[in-house]
Structure 1
Amino acid sequence: MEPFFYFGMMSFLMSVLVSCDPVPEGVVHMDCHERYFMIAVDRSFAGDEARFEAVDRTGVYAITKSYAASCGYSIAVLPSSSYLVLRASYFSCHTANQDDQVFTFNFNLLARRDGAEAVYALNKTCLPLLPWCPREVTCEVNYMEVSVRSEITCAAGTRKDDWNTLATAHSSSTSDWQVMFQTDVEPMAPMSLSDAREKGYVFELTDSRLIFRTPYGQPHSTISMVNGIPVEVVHATLFSRQSWFVIMVDLLAVCSIHEGTFEDGHVVFETPEALYPGSDATRLFVGLNTELLEPSVFAIEEDIVMMNGTVQIRIPVNMKGGHRKSFANDDLYEFYTFHLHLEQLFEDEEETRLRLHKMLVTPLLLHPLCTQNQTVVEDHMFTVYLGDIPDDVKLLSFQLNGHEMKWPPANTSSYTIVNVVQTNNEHGYMLKVPFDDPVVAQEFYTVHSVKYSLDINYTLRVLPENELYYHSFSVSALTDVSPPVLEAVCSETGITFRVHHRPFDFLWFLSVGSKALTSELAAQRGYTMTNDSAALQLLVPLFTQGFQYEDITLKGFLGTFELLVKERQTSAVQRSISKTCPFTSSEVIACSMDGRMTVLADLSLITPSGATPSRSNLLDVFCGPVEADNTKALFSFPLNGCSSKVELSKGDVIYENEIFYNSKHDGERVVVRCTYPLDGLHRLFSMHRFDSDSPGIGSIIHSSKQHKAAPLRATTAVKTRAPTTTRSEDVNAKLLASHGNVRYFRVLKGRKPHPDRRKGLFLQAVKQDFLYK
């Protein structure tokens, strides 16, 4: 075995032995394309410091930036993509080439994993499908490569430049291969291939091809303008003098170096239609990334323009196949990158195929986010949509009126925020916050309207760099202020009212009838009122003042209690909240607003043994119960009927009657009374109508022979007790006593008639009585 071959095999085996880590599925993609091999590695797996090594039988070679350009490799870390991409020419330095038909690639991927460097072996064999053209030119992103057939053919004619080169080659004193670079000025001095290799130029001879490769920007290259488009030209001539003749090979690389422009939402790239002098362009293929299509089926057919010897390609920024990347710097920006793959066929004496790989990048473009206030005031909730957010931008956190909120929110939160997927590789966030959430600011806009306001501050991060971008938005809503709504619940012993506090509740107050509901009133009437920071609760026990009773039967009755919501400034009633509940009791009395007393009384103490309450009666023996059972009797009668007694006392009118088992029974008795405030009566002692502002207060008094209730005098002999009456009440009482035949008398609230005007009051009463007959 040859020593050199043995050493090479050992180096290759050693490289394989250290590359023993298995490659996880899905993180590396390897594909064969016409004239190049591509590896794409997921950067989330490989990391930012990942790198490649080329492996052949002679050893392992690190692919650095300069080494890649001279040896036929290009490595791209796209800022808008999550992949690290390596492209290798079929004629790259360390590719195993079998008859220019089978190409085998071996690479090492070096990535840092768990704090240590891991080595992954990558290999692939590619077989090109298209036959090789006599001349093929590759314009890669970092180098130019020309390959020509190695068979020598005689040209039909010789140009002046060829004679100049031939003269220089003929004067050479060596038979080794040399290269001479030509420029528009004058030919340069020849140099050996080894000297050219040190300067970054590579010349290789395969079974059937001669390859020349050079990085861009070499000292021997020139920049020319062709139809206003910059192109880079490298013209190398290989020659060797053999006795009296010279072998000479002309190698010409011409590539457009147009960087692309941005116009009206399009990236525009231009290249000359015919790059080689004397050649005619025959076909054109264009693609993004790796797929090549003819213009007739290309997705942007209308954006390929060929005129005045120029090919202009316009790519919309939102076209599929491009990559976008966000960038945060006070505002949110974006830029797009496109891997343009262009292929042209030229015809002159031989066919030339030119392949161009170009990375086109837009300038930074402002990317405004879309914020929509979708609040419906009737829903009593803020609804805000933040949209048009690129996929590489995610929500990190947000604040509501300066309060840091959780993302994602807890299930117990009153607000919600959800991610909304859009169709154009963008997404958004829908935020909903109730008006009554504690973070929402409230202020009175007018007397009866409230302004709700919310300042939203989003903190977004751009991946993978985690750059922060802040977006703010403010919303407000104006709503009419409504009176409070009370909840009411029935119980066996009464009714419970509850009202939740709101910031603007001070605009109203609660009242029971004409009396404002205060802690003093509640204590006076026997209500139980509690008031904390959350709500006010009022327990109204049955039979306390303010209850109204209806549908009284022996089995039960309905009790109604009403609370009024009044405007604080005007005392106008804004809302009435009443609750009616069914109750059961052995006794109940109702004094109606239209002058009727309804009494359910327990008569078990006044009914003789063996008798029933159905034989009981009132002061008028002809006024019996409506219905009765073994112990109770139900009476319903007009206040001024059934021999009822009436008395004026301390601003009240008191009607009284008694329930007897019979008129001669001198034992236990039941006294029933209805008390009405005098200033709430509009028709007093009328034979036709009784009109009161409110129901009266009833009472049932059980008394024995030893403890009788103080009786009231008959209606025709009403006398008030002077020491406890006001001047007006005393005058009214005397007028009633003096004029017993008056059918109607109106008590004017708040007036105090002078004694000298008694005659006038009497005439007024008679006149009103006549009108109401």
Structure 2
Amino acid sequence: MPWLSGICTLWLLGFVVLAQNFNVVSPQKNVIPAQNFNQRTGLKTDCLGSYMRLTVDKSLAFGSLVEFDVMNGSQIEPLTPSLASKCGFSIDSDPWGNYRVFASLFNCFAENEDDHLFDINMRVRVRGVKAEQDVFQVEKTCTHDQWAPREVLCDRNYMEVSVNRLPGEITAMRRQPKMAERQAKGDYQWPDTVSEAITSKYNIWRMVFFTPKQKAMVLEDALKAGYGVITTKSRLVLRSGFDMPETYVENVNGIPMKVIKVTTYFKRQWSVTMLDTVAACPVGGLSFTDEMITWYFPRVNPLMTSTEANILGMFMGIDGSQIDSAQMATRGYILTIEGNNIVMKIPIGGPDGYYKSHAVDNQYNIRYYIEPMLQLLWSEGGMDSTKYRVLFPIKTPFMPRPPQFVDLTDVDKRMFDVILGPFLYDVELVNITFSAGVLTLAEANVRGFNIQEQRFQNGSKAFRLQVPFSDSFVVRTQTDLLLTVYNLRLVYGFMIFPESISFSYIATVDVTLQDITLPTVGGSCDKEKFYITISYGNLGKNFNIMLGKRDLTPDLSAEYDIKENVSHMSLVVPFLAFDVAFELMYPSSLRARLDVLLWEPVNKWTLSDFSLACNFPMTMTECFSNGSMSALAVKVESVPQLNPSQLTLRDHSCRPKFSNDRFAYFSYDANGCGTTRKFYDGVMMYQNEIILGNGPPVYQQGKSGVTTLPPDPEYRVTVSCFYTLNDTQTIAFFTKPRENEPLPETGFGELHVVLRLALDGSYNNFYAEEDYPVVQYLRSPLFFEVVLLRSTDPQIELVLESCWATLKEDRISTPRWDLIVDGCVNLADNYETIFHPVTPGGVPYPSHVKHFEIKMFTFVQNHVMLQDQIYVHCDAVLCDANQNDGICKRLCPSPIPLKTGNKVRRDATNDQNQKAQLSTGKILLSAS
């Protein structure tokens, strides 16, 4: 791991551990000796041959700052990177927050007793978020007396070589336990030459480094340069970092090795002693497959002076601890000699290593980390032997592991359901970017999404996300008239801990459904208007409306009484409106059609095409008793080029009295404008034509050749009036059939008779249509007038055949109460209807008017009022003043007095078969 400048500071990150697993010490309290509380503090020490290992468990201080000190008596030094490589310490950590500190027994601060007993003292400082710290003291004593004449240690950040600096016989003597016991009892005295050996540190004259060129330094300069130089009772120790200037790389069998080679000169008086020290550590030799790590180490290396070196032992270890052959076999490890190399094979993914996540160019990768140890013992003849130990951290190359995006979307539930993974334990999902913004996991769950972390048995995990189709973050696109594409665009934002390295993953999922409910149009007609209802479907009002040939604009919406809610729209269009098309004319009606088109403006799709055609009552021709006639010509759809102002009668000088772009109105005398007259049995017919111009000539082939016939007009409507002797009959009109032209049918003319309610008995002012409902008190007088309009014939007499009242607007509904029966008042009514005479001075034609009065009443049944309203209806008959029979000359009987106690009630038992012609609006009974 990279070293920071200054004090070596490491953060502990890992899983939360229960409080009883560690003991927290206030910085004001005494320092806790770690060796007495290893289980409670999470500290553990091991002696592993020529070094000691301190393990700091993640439970010691989760998320806190951890620092290490080295101690020698009262001397306390923070363990910085430079001090570590110079004095024989290395520190490593894993993603869980566990730490390992390796300390050479020959480190600068160890208390060494005869190269046999080593006391190592350290401190572990844990600093919390409030800058308070707990201090744990570590004291460990290691014994080791199996020193080889030469020992080489390759640690993570330094290489160390120690050699025997005493004469061979003294060294051998120091290895004999009995002699050591005698020395301890004082029975044996070391020779003076031993205690004053010239190869002590203080006798170092100079040191020659081979780079491979020679470079000489005095001891003081070597120490300042960062080299570690120590002499013990029996050994000379040299320590160098891998990046020191005097180290060099030597390729052996294609394997690079870092080499430090030094000759140390000792001088005392007239004698000079030289000791050669060399250390060589591999910095390569690895090869990888998807499943296996292979580490090649040269069998003959720069430490050997002869190719005939005899390997006495070859061992493998993990994390600095040697393992036996059974453990190797269980874990699949192999250590062999193949040709000129020692080969170690390690399966990737074994339990002694761990995986770690990485982001490379925003792509998810993993690496496998493991720290094997290679230990060799060889001899090059005689008693000289070398013990060689390499701690070799290995990390595989980046292995791309693109996560799998699994789509489990449930169309029936209309829910996106996706899983992304797997990831290692050290990856956390931080946020998700949708098409409309970024949401943290908490915000997404509050919004109604469902985000879950799913863990698997191997320690990996995946992230599951559920989003309903209906959410506004889902982009909906209508790709066809009935198809919707629901698109969920996702950018997952991840963070790798503890490094806090971010990366992202982009995913898109589409679902196409045939789930469009198109808008629909329905409608109906009454005598004057079209009533159109538009149901939006599930698209909302995301469409345009065309009425006839015009788009429905806001101004037009106001004209047509638009009403809207979240699901529907209604509009009312008069049948004479500009956007209504006229199809056909009939004698007393007009067939009109309203076209409604719903269309989508972006793709120009037709969503609904609706047409409604109805016949609307309309007087097209009127025949008057004074010998005049009127006719209305209409521009129909089949003659689009027609200009009504250019229409004429047969006599082209007879032009319309009124015209616009759709109508032409003619009024003329039956004896003029080219009107013809014909007689039939008791019938006289007046006939004329409304025409427009002349068409092309018509040529007819005959026996005598081609005959030119008069051309047909472009537009022709025949108007007819029929009269019988002593009676006025209905009128009709017809046209000569022509392709794509209106086809009028024979109809009947009608006199205009109205029933209206007067404000009072003077019959001067009347309620208008918009005044209804009219409110009256019970038994208040109601004054009605029935009048024939637009007639100047004094020989016509208006007769009321019958009048009645109903509870509902429908004339044939029940209950019903008769007011006038067969032209006479209903004598069964205790509030008798009163006829009022019409004076000649009040109106021009008194015979055309009838006045009558009733009292306001309400319907009751079983002494309960059914409803507080009535409607009044009448049938009127037009009679010849000279006619002497039938209803026209009906004589009414005298009123019959009612017997005492005989109460007549208006009920629901009267005739329902009266033919209605005239009606009033609603008349309400006042509650006060």
Aligned mates of 1:449, 1:470 — CA distance in 2: 32
Letter in 1 for 2:108: C
Deviations 1:663-701 (A, max 9, x none): xxx9x999xxxxxxxxxxxxxxxxxxxxxxxxxxxxxxx
Q: 1:69-468, aligned counterparts within 5 Å?
A: 69-76=85-92, 80=95, 82-110=97-125, 112-114=127-129, 116=131, 118=133, 120-128=135-143, 131-149=146-164, 152-153=167-168, 176-178=203-205, 181=208, 183=210, 193-194=219-220, 196-218=222-244, 220-238=246-264, 240=266, 249-258=275-284, 260=286, 263-264=289-290, 267-275=293-301, 276=304, 277=306, 278-294=308-324, 297-298=327-328, 301=332, 306-315=337-346, 317-320=348-351, 321-327=353-359, 329-349=361-381, 350-408=384-442, 413-468=447-502
| 2:63 counterpart of 1:31 | no
Deviations 1:457-491 (A, max 9, x none): 3222232343332322221212232879xxxxxxx
Aligned mates of 2:151, 2:411 — CA distance in 1: 70
Q: 1:530-679, aligned counterparts within 5 Å?
A: 533=566
**Aligned-pair distance for 1:356?**
0.6
Letter in 2 for 1:283: G
Letter in 2 for 1:309: N
Report the CA distance shift for 1:325/1:105 in structure 2 as closer, same or farther (over 3 A): farther
Deviations 1:243-297 (A, max 9, x none): 8987654433232232745555655533212332342334333344344335664
Q: Which of the pair is proportionally richer in helix? A: 1
Aligned mates of 2:338, 2:517 — CA distance in 1: 76
Aligned mates of 1:279, 1:431 — CA distance in 2: 64
**Aligned-pair distance for 1:377?**
1.7
SS of the residue aligned with 1:213?
strand
Q: Which residue of 1 aligns with 2:8?
A: none
Letter in 2 for 1:30: K
Q: Which residue of 1 aligns with 2:910?
A: 710
TM-score in terms of structure 2 length: 0.46
2:488–2:508 CA contact under 8 A, matched in 1: yes
Letter in 1 for 2:388: L
2:117–2:144 CA contact under 8 A, matched in 1: no
Aligned mates of 2:500, 2:259 — CA distance in 1: 43
2:160–2:239 CA contact under 8 A, matched in 1: yes
**Aligned-pair distance for 1:47?**
7.2
Report the CA distance shift for 1:422/1:409 in structure 2 as closer, same or farther (over 3 A): farther
Aligned mates of 1:123, 1:308 — CA distance in 2: 45
Deviations 1:143-175 (A, max 9, x none): 2222344552389xxxxxxxxxxxxxxxx9x99
Deviations 1:308-353 (A, max 9, x none): 2113445455343135142365444444443332222223334432
Aligned mates of 2:433, 2:214 — CA distance in 1: 71
Aligned mates of 1:145, 1:445 — CA distance in 2: 73
Aligned mates of 2:434, 2:212 — CA distance in 1: 71
**Aligned-pair distance for 1:417?**
1.1
Structure 2's unaligned 5+ residue stretches are 1-26, 171-198, 519-534, 543-562, 570-605, 611-809, 815-827, 829-859, 863-902, 919-928
Match 1:59 to one of 60, 69, 75:
75
**Aligned-pair distance for 1:197?**
3.6
Deviations 1:29-77 (A, max 9, x none): 3321412223345789497975432111251223333322221112346
Structure 1's unaligned 5+ residue stretches are 1-16, 156-171, 485-499, 508-529, 537-566, 572-651, 657-665, 671-702, 714-719, 725-773
**Aligned-pair distance for 1:363?**
4.5
Report the CA distance shift for 1:373/1:151 in structure 2 as closer, same or farther (over 3 A): same
User: Number of residue pairs matched?
Assistant: 501
SS of the residue aligned with 1:377?
coil
Aligned mates of 2:140, 2:98 — CA distance in 1: 22
1:234–1:254 CA contact under 8 A, matched in 2: yes
Report the CA distance shift for 1:125/1:445 in structure 2 as closer, same or farther (over 3 A): same
Letter in 2 for 1:141: R
Greater shift in the superposed pair: 388-397 or 404-413: 404-413
Deviations 1:201-241 (A, max 9, x none): 44434355443333335555453332222223334445656
Report the CA distance shift for 1:144/1:503 in structure 2 as closer, same or farther (over 3 A): same
1:108–1:122 CA contact under 8 A, matched in 2: yes
Aligned mates of 1:293, 1:139 — CA distance in 2: 18
Letter in 2 for 1:223: V
SS of the residue aligned with 2:83?
helix
Report the CA distance shift for 1:26/1:386 in structure 2 as closer, same or farther (over 3 A): farther
1:181–1:220 CA contact under 8 A, matched in 2: no
Aligned mates of 1:338, 1:470 — CA distance in 2: 28
**Aligned-pair distance for 1:379?**
2.9
**Aligned-pair distance for 1:420?**
0.7
2:418–2:465 CA contact under 8 A, matched in 1: yes
2:72–2:121 CA contact under 8 A, matched in 1: yes
1:295–1:301 CA contact under 8 A, matched in 2: no
Letter in 2 for 1:153: G
1:323–1:338 CA contact under 8 A, matched in 2: no
SS of the residue aligned with 2:507?
strand
Letter in 2 for 1:311: I
Report the CA distance shift for 1:502/1:148 in structure 2 as closer, same or farther (over 3 A): farther
2:405–2:421 CA contact under 8 A, matched in 1: yes
Report the CA distance shift for 1:117/1:192 in structure 2 as closer, same or farther (over 3 A): farther
Deviations 1:367-405 (A, max 9, x none): 423221111322321101111223222122224431444
SS of the residue aligned with 1:408?
helix
SS of the residue aligned with 2:393?
strand
Letter in 1 for 2:122: F
Letter in 1 for 2:300: A
1:180–1:187 CA contact under 8 A, matched in 2: no
1:47–1:111 CA contact under 8 A, matched in 2: no
Letter in 2 for 1:94: F
Identity over aligned pairs, percent:
22
Letter in 1 for 2:436: G
Q: 1:719-730, aligned counterparts within 5 Å?
A: 721=915
Report the CA distance shift for 1:348/1:328 in structure 2 as closer, same or farther (over 3 A): closer
TM-score in terms of structure 1 length: 0.54
Deviations 1:690-744 (A, max 9, x none): xxxxxxxxxxxxx98764533468xxxxxx95969xxxxxxxxxxxxxxxxxxxx
Coordinate RMSD, CA, aligned: 5.0
Deviations 1:61-116 (A, max 9, x none): 233333222211123466x5634543211111111233444432222335543454
2:404–2:420 CA contact under 8 A, matched in 1: yes
Letter in 1 for 2:314: L
1:20–1:119 CA contact under 8 A, matched in 2: no
Letter in 2 for 1:109: V
Aligned mates of 1:62, 1:568 — CA distance in 2: 80
